[in-house]
Amino acid sequence: MDIPTTAAAFSEQRARLMKIMQRYAGRNMKRFLTLEQQAFADGALPTKTKELLGLVASAALRCDDCIMFHLLGCREQGVSSAEMEKALNVALVVGGSITIPHIRRALAAWDELEQGG
Q: pTM, whole model, 2 decimals?
A: 0.89
CB 49 within 8 A of CB 87: no
| 11 within some domain | yes
Number of folded domains that form the chain = 1
Question: Whole domain around residue 92: which residue ranges?
Answer: 7-114
Residue 1: inside a domain, yes or no? no
Domain contains 2: no
Cβ-based neighbours of 103, under 8 Å, separated by 6 or more = 59, 88, 91, 92
pLDDT of residue 7: 84
pLDDT band at 3 (very low <50, low <70, confident <90, very high): low
Indicate whether 97 belongs to any domain.
Answer: yes
Q: Residue 30 is part of a domain; what is its CATH number?
A: 1.20.1290.10
State yes or no: pLDDT of 117 exceeds 90: no
Task: Please state, for a pLDDT cut of 70, what percent of the chain lies above it.
Answer: 97
In the chain the first and final C-alpha atoms are separated, in Å, by 22
Q: Across 48-108, where does the E strand assignment appear? A: none
